A and B are shown apart, each in its own frame.
Chain A
Amino acid sequence: MTDLSVKRASALRLWLRLRSLPLIPIVILLTVFIIPAFFAEYIAPHDPYVPNLRARLQPPVGFGGTWEYMLGTDRLGRDILSRILHGSWYVLSVSLIGITVGVVVGTTLGLIAGYARGWFDGLVMRLVDISLALPAMLLALALAAAIGASFLSVVIVVGFALWAYFARQVRAEVLLLRKSDFVARSQVAGSSHIRILFRHILPNVLNTIVVLATLQVGIAIMLDASLSFLGIGIPRPTPTWGLLVSDGRDFIATDWWISFFPGLAILLTVMSANMLGDWLREQLDPRQRQV
């Protein structure tokens, strides 16, 4: 009996949570970002790379253009919509891999630093300080100059920009957890440190990591876009969104659509990711919900 009522209560809670799902951001994320990232080849009406000089500088629909080139074409006659759709894959993969690097490095170092304390803790915290004191843009400039801009260099920059936040947050939580009873008990039971860290402590900080990672998606996308806008991101001809904006930069007076729509894609994606992150934080962190 008791079991059932508990189940019903949690089902109700789940339903309440699902009902508060922010639908608009999810729909925007899916249509602008995630579905195109995986299915651009099937959705995109035109080839994003092949120039078509007969269709140069077509304006978008509603501004004298046709439905064939819904968002217009660039100076080489390439369809803007198709380029945005194809670009989303690179934006998605570079930011997700970059965040993953940041999460893995930051969480591992934070876990060990908080659990082991001692000199390792001191070292990690110094590194966190330095990393937070170095704007990611400087590293991006340095890497671009040294090894040239590439997919890898952008991933490194994004990972570098984010790892310290994870390390600091995870360490702070581990410091509290390591004093708790369940850790002491598994120590008594003879569990190895590695088992305690990854089997007992890690699951307890997962919530934090998930929330932090979601909130970083917007930052990662923005960083990637800024880098490719400056020409120190993934190099041409890859149609990353920042590069698409930069393509139309000098023609804003006459052919505004070349820059406008890719920027709008960035705006919508980052905004939805931020809203989703805020929602997730409210769901997973009861303190936030009350405030």
Chain B
Amino acid sequence: MLKYLARRVGSSLFALWVITIIVFLLTHLSGNPVDALLPDDATKQQIDAFIRDWGLDKPLWQQYLTFLGNAVQGDFGTSLKWPGEDAMGFVLARMPATLQLGGIAILISLVVALPLGVAAAVYKGSPVDNGAQMFALLGQSIPNFWLGIVLIWVFSVWLGWLPTSGTGTFAHAILPAIAIAWFQVSALARLTRSAMLEVLDAEYIKLARVKGVGEFSVVWKHALRNAAVVPLTYFGILAASILTGSVVIETVFSWPGMGWVAIEAIRGRDFPVVQAVIVAYAVIYMISNLVVDLLYVAIDPRIRND
């Protein structure tokens, strides 16, 4: 088990390292890194100091090592669009907003998708099942940004129940979280259903029923616990999808998180912030994948004892 985890950590770090190379090459792809990383009105002294600090007069691999050394310490330079802001510091300040939104989205997905998937499996072929299948198909086909706009249209403009955009209260988070969660709900419900169908056929479920265990306990304790491993495999993809969703949805709802910063930084050609935001996203993503691995171990004794 330790070996398994060590391998996962190793491969995450490797992927992260590849990302730093990509992010480093970014500034060189676009031409002269001095143009990319310094404001247009930088003075001669500033440029010289910059070239010296980041070793731009040295060969590429040395430059990369300097970049990596700085990056490990969280130093990605200063923002061009938001003057005076430390690039990584600026991104990190926005991180809680994104994590908050992602957390609520995950909560919504779980609370809606698990019961839906379980019910669809238990009442297979019934209207509940058909409805769930329709919902799943629809959920995977709706563009989330469009859903966000339609939600604003219905709940903010038309009904006037919730604010259109911005942040502050819990009410602000409801619509964006739903827009992010929608796709995950359908995917999770589908996976839960098929996993439950398989498990409900198993011998130990029959045994539990024969023993006289109540139906509720059979479904929710015996079956779901075994079926849960399958939806859990999806959680890694879920993290990526929520992360991607946050970039899009934060733009729709002007939610001042990392995704919003990323798009604004690209519009302003603010390379230090773009680099910082990509690395920060990658780190969140790697960590959430590791957490999934740990959850696996916790939920499935077969892996624990391996």
Query: Interface of A with B (CB < 8 Å)?
Result: 126, 129-130, 133-139, 141-142, 144-147, 218, 222, 225-226, 229-232, 242, 245-246, 248-249, 252-253, 256, 259-260, 262-263, 266-267, 270-271, 274-275
**Chain B nearest CB, measured from A60 CB (Å):** 15
The residues of A that contact B199 with a CB separation of less than 8 Å are none
- B263 on interface, CB distance cutoff 8 Å: yes
A275 and B137 contact, CB distance less than 8 A: yes
Q: Are B146 and A230 in contact (CB under 8 A)?
A: no
- Quick one: which of A145, A245, A252 contacts B157, CB cutoff 8 A? A252
Measured CA separation A96–B11 after assembly (Å): 31
Q: Could you tell me the distance in whole angstroms from the C-beta of A258 to the nearest C-beta in chain B?
A: 10
B residues sitting closer than 8 Å to A (CB atoms) are 11-12, 14-15, 18-19, 22-23, 25-27, 29-30, 137-138, 140-146, 149-150, 152-153, 157, 240-241, 243-244, 247-248, 251-252, 262-263, 265-267, 269, 271, 274, 277-278, 281-282, 285-286, 289
Residues of A close to B29: CB separation below 8 A: 146-147
Known: A225-B143, A263-B143, A271-B137. A130 touches B15 (CB 8 A): yes
How far apart are the CA atoms of A133 and B263 in the complex, in Å? 21
Q: Tell me the smallest distance from the CB of B236 to a CB of chain A, in Å.
A: 9
CB distance from B163 to the nearest CB of A (A): 13
Report which of B25, B144, B244, B252 forms a contact with A249, defined as CB distance below 8 A.
B252
Asked whether, in the complex, the Cβ of B30 is within 8 Å of the Cβ of A147, the reply is: yes
The minimal Cβ–Cβ distance linking A88 to chain B, given in whole angstroms, is 15
Q: For the complex, what is the distance from the CA of A134 to the CA of B243, rounded to whole Å?
A: 11
Pull 15 A–B residue pairs with CB atoms less than 8 Å apart, ordered by A: A129-B15, A133-B15, A135-B244, A137-B243, A138-B282, A141-B247, A142-B23, A142-B274, A145-B269, A229-B145, A232-B266, A245-B149, A249-B252, A252-B152, A260-B150
Known interface pairs A129-B11, A253-B153; A245-B138 also in contact (CB < 8 Å): no
Q: List B contacts of A263 (CB < 8 A).
A: 143, 146, 149-150
Partner of A267, one of B19, B142, B267: B142
Give the chain B neighbours of A271 by CB distance below 8 A.
137-138, 140-141
Task: Enumerate the 4 nearest inter-chain pairs by beta-carbon distance, A residue then B residue, closest first.
Answer: A263-B146, A271-B141, A137-B244, A146-B29
Given A249-B149, A252-B157, A266-B146, do A133 and B267 touch, yes or no (CB 8 Å)?
no
Closest B residue by C-beta to A241: B143
Tell me the complex Cα distance, A267–B144, Å: 10
Q: In the complex the two chains form, is A256's CB within 8 Å of B271's CB?
A: no
Q: How far, in angstroms, from A252 to B165 measured CA to CA in the complex? A: 13
B146 near A259: Cβ-Cβ < 8 Å: yes
**Shortest beta-carbon distance from B289 to chain A in Å:** 7
Contact A135 B281, beta carbon cutoff 8 Å: yes
- Report the bound CA distance from A61 to B190 in whole Å: 37
